[in-house]
Amino acid sequence: MTAKIISGTEVAKQIREELKVEIAELKEKHNIIPGLVTILVGEDPASQSYVAAKNKTAHAIGIHSEQITLDADTPEDELLELVRKYNSDDSCNGILVQLPLPKHINEGLILNEINPDKDVDGFHPVNIGRMVLGEKCFLPCTPHGVLELLARSGVETSGAEVVIIGRSNIVGKPMANLMMQKRESGNATVTVCHTRTKDMAAHCRRADIIIAAVGVPKMVTADMVKDGVAIMDVGVNRIGKTESGKAILAGDVDFDAVKEKASVITPVPGGVGPMTITMLMKNTLQSAKMAAGLI
Ligand code: NAP
């Protein structure tokens, strides 16, 4: 079996077109333009490019986005004040503080200060609590993107054995919770693997769906998966540079070998990555509609 390769780039494009139509309607019928503020502290090149991509996508679909760049030595108090300012600014529906923050700033303190109704990243404890309870909330963008990819590729999750590798707060943990919930794209039987898992290959071989969010290039090999498995590869690992200096990326899955056994598989790059930014846009639109009492 050779897998169907799921282009996250194409799915994300399709969702962005849908969002663009909804955003235009919101403006026409209610005179509302969703607003997003991105805050970048310091000059980390990867963070700079993520924030730039978020702003570019927002503009392209009709979201008003404002980027604030602060010096790396900005005091914690100043960042807190800035978050508070946008918490009380009605034109701002989403506040995104790009992580990681410089070491002298307490990330948890900053994220907790964001008004949960503007927490479009879905990282605030209130949103995480609402998610666990299955209540209306902003879903964290990467797991949300994986759910959309599964749904739009026709992968049945109900009753499926799902193995998630990784238990981070932003990917593995929420992913596991969402997959086990009594909801569409959920109802799965979930196993979570991490560095203390004894025989990861044995767990993976049982899986109908494997979601890898580890940060170790090509860790999931063909001998670890069963025929027909669906693979969602969240990992983004820089494994070298081209002659022109461009980063060469690889996922957490040995794509070339595993695609010969899988039924569907996401590539890296061009798989889960483009979905993450798109889900941020979806959350920002949701926030604007919630603020206007439309949903
Ligand atoms: P993280 O916070 O570093 O967590 C990695 C997880 O993988 C941890 O739970 C760790 O286990 C587990 N792990 C590490 N090495 C392992 C091993 N050898 N065997 C089994 N488990 C192992 O990473 P993250 O933020 O979740 O990100 C994971 C990957 O996804 C990274 O490559 C990141 O760049 C990528 N990512 C992509 C997107 C996207 O939009 N595509 C978004 C976010 C992250 P312990 O808990 O036991 O330490």
pLDDT tens-digit readout, 265-282:
999 999 999 999 999 999
Answer whether 30-116 and 141-273 agree in fold.
yes
23: pLDDT strictly greater than 80? yes
Nearest atom of ligand 1 to the alpha carbon of 237: 32
Average pLDDT, the chain: 97
Q: Give the integer Cα–Cα distance in Å for 262 and 205.
A: 12
pLDDT digits (tens, 9 = 90+) for 131-173: 999 999 999 999 999 999 999 999 999 999 999 999 999 999 9
Band of pLDDT at residue 46, cut at 50, 70 and 90: confident
How many angstroms is it from 201 CA to the middle of ligand 1? 17
Which residues are catalytically annotated?
A: 54, 98, 121
How many angstroms is it from 129 CA to the middle of ligand 1? 22
Q: Mean per-residue pLDDT for 258-266?
A: 98
Question: Class of the 141-273 domain?
Answer: alpha beta
Specify whether the CB–CB gap between 11 and 282 falls below 8 A.
Answer: no
What is the predicted pLDDT for the residue at 80?
98
How many angstroms is it from 161 CA to the middle of ligand 1? 20
3-state secondary structure of 105: coil
Q: Indicate if ligand 1 lies below 6 Å from the C-beta of 146.
A: no
Nearest atom of ligand 1 to the alpha carbon of 216: 15
Q: Indicate if ligand 1 lies below 6 Å from the C-beta of 214.
A: yes
What is the predicted pLDDT for the residue at 3?
95
182: pLDDT strictly greater than 80? yes
What is the predicted pLDDT for the residue at 88?
97
Q: Please, where are the H alpha helices in 71-162?
A: 76-87, 107-113, 125-133, 141-152
* DSSP notation for 202-230: HHHHH-SEEEE----TT-B-GGGS-TT-E
Q: Which of 195, 210, 255 to mutate to test the pocket of ligand 1 (most atoms within 8 A of CB)?
A: 195
Q: Indicate if ligand 1 lies below 6 Å from the C-beta of 273.
A: yes
Which residues, other chains included, contact 77 with Cβ-Cβ below 8 Å and sequence gap of 6+?
none
Query: Token pair of 63, please?
Result: 């979201």
Alpha carbon separation from 103 to 74, 83, 119 (Å, rounded): 11, 18, 22
Q: Indicate if ligand 1 lies below 6 Å from the C-beta of 171.
A: yes
Q: Indicate if ligand 1 lies below 6 Å from the C-beta of 194.
A: yes
Which residues, other chains included, contact 85 with Cβ-Cβ below 8 Å and sequence gap of 6+?
none
Q: Mean per-residue pLDDT for 209-238?
A: 98
What residue ranges do the domains of the chain occupy? 30-116, 141-273
What is the predicted pLDDT for the residue at 27?
97
Q: Indicate if ligand 1 lies below 6 Å from the C-beta of 178.
A: no
Alpha-carbon dihedral sign for residues 215, 216, 218, 222: negative
1: pLDDT strictly greater than 80? no
3-state secondary structure of 294: coil
Which residues, other chains included, contact 194 with Cβ-Cβ below 8 Å and sequence gap of 6+?
165, 166, 167, 172
5: pLDDT strictly greater than 80? yes
Q: Give the integer Cα–Cα distance in Å for 60 and 193.
A: 38
Given CATH 3.30.1330.10, say whether it is the number of domain 30-116: no
pLDDT digits (tens, 9 = 90+) for 72-116: 999 999 999 999 999 999 999 999 999 999 999 999 999 999 999
Q: Whose CA is nearest to atom 6 of ligand 1?
A: 166
